[in-house]
Structure 1
């Protein structure tokens, strides 16, 4: 890899560089949605984005570089959390957002590709961890607020609760193939709430 290759997710470029990045990452997501991870090709992405192949090869270096930067971009652009004023409302809103995202005909395949790539590429794995760090940190306050209100036991680990909401939905995406609908989302949130109220996620348990 040449010294002029930019490590994906390490900068937020402006001007023409930002436009090129946006076009290339849009093309990457489109290509994954159409052909999956195996069909991802740098030359095809360059053609879709209408940029030179040399630019794509120099900056991203490989399909893994594209995928790592795509998930980094998704973290940068992630939606703010919903604040309903209740733990149940907040966690159901989180679960429904996750389910809607994973069921999307474009976003679902992108997440599958990112997770698959993360199993064999350290850059993608780190970018995926950063993505979830951002999303969990965004939603964790709804749990800490519930603790402050007395809705959950003191010492409840907010990050563990948020992760527990998403976990069964990712299982549906990656393993069971069961529907990612509103009912599944609400059930995931309700299960996490029951466990949290029982003290399952209390630190030092």
Structure 2
């Protein structure tokens, strides 16, 4: 990859005409990035390939996104704009199991866009920063699972480190499928959830005063 020009913000540029050409071009380009990334990984992702697939002049792509890092950063920003809501099954164990199931499904689909996007973030500081923001937002959204569990009396009535609990519950899925690259285990989402809930009930995630 050539030396990148000056970086651009990871946040999407505001549309001057909501629903107009600017929004359509962004949607076309980001759809093309998803497809190119899923098919060829980061190594096959080029500005020219994205422009061709999107049916957009490459000058437009360069002008708005500058480089591949800009495309990836905007793609992650767009993911954060999706109106996603954490599961609400009525129990912490059920919520974490449902969350892990969603994660597992996103990692095992072929080709896995989620895995390709994570891998690509290692090649671009701008994309890595955008991915960190996306993860921060998702974990913050999911903290309500712990808040509801506390309100239902499922956990000790003490200040709880919700972020650490969520990481402990979801980490086994990423470990098995992304790091170890093992075949998906249909029992893993629930088993990982149960382990985290048991640890939380025993006070493992209580914040120390």
Q: TM-score, normalised by structure 1?
A: 0.89
- Show structure 1 runs of 4+ deviating over 3 A: none
Provide the C-alpha distance between the structure 1 equivalents of 2:114 and 2:186, rounded to a whole number of angstroms: 19
The change in CA–CA distance for 1:12 and 1:82 in structure 2 (over 3 A counts) is farther
Match of 2:110 in 1: 105
Match of 2:46 in 1: 41
Q: 1:28 aligns with which of 12, 33, 47?
A: 33
1:93 pairs with 2:98 = yes
**SS of alignment partner, residue 116 of structure 1:** helix
Match of 1:130 in 2: 133
1:118 pairs with 2:121 = yes
1:155 pairs with 2:174 = no
1:141 pairs with 2:157 = no
C-alpha contact (below 8 Å) 1:160/1:201 kept by paired residues? yes
The change in CA–CA distance for 1:90 and 1:20 in structure 2 (over 3 A counts) is same
Partner deviation per Cα, 1:9-61 (whole Å, 9 max, x = no partner): 24453321111111111111101111111011110100100001001111111
CA-CA distance at 1:179 after TM superposition: 2.6
Provide the C-alpha distance between the structure 2 equivalents of 1:193 and 1:42, rounded to a whole number of angstroms: 45
Provide the C-alpha distance between the structure 1 equivalents of 2:175 and 2:99, rounded to a whole number of angstroms: 16
Match of 2:11 in 1: 9
Partner deviation per Cα, 1:87-107 (whole Å, 9 max, x = no partner): 11111111111111112224x
Unaligned runs of 5+ in 1: none
The number of residue pairs the alignment matches comes to: 201
Q: 1:175 aligns with which of 164, 169, 179?
A: 179
Provide the C-alpha distance between the structure 2 equivalents of 1:12 and 1:184, rounded to a whole number of angstroms: 41
**SS of alignment partner, residue 82 of structure 1:** coil
C-alpha contact (below 8 Å) 2:106/2:114 kept by paired residues? no
CA-CA distance at 1:136 after TM superposition: 1.4
Provide the C-alpha distance between the structure 1 equivalents of 2:196 and 2:100, rounded to a whole number of angstroms: 10
**SS of alignment partner, residue 38 of structure 1:** helix
Q: TM-score, normalised by structure 2?
A: 0.87
Give the aligned CA root-mean-square deviation in angstroms.
1.9
Match of 2:194 in 1: 190
C-alpha contact (below 8 Å) 1:100/1:180 kept by paired residues? no
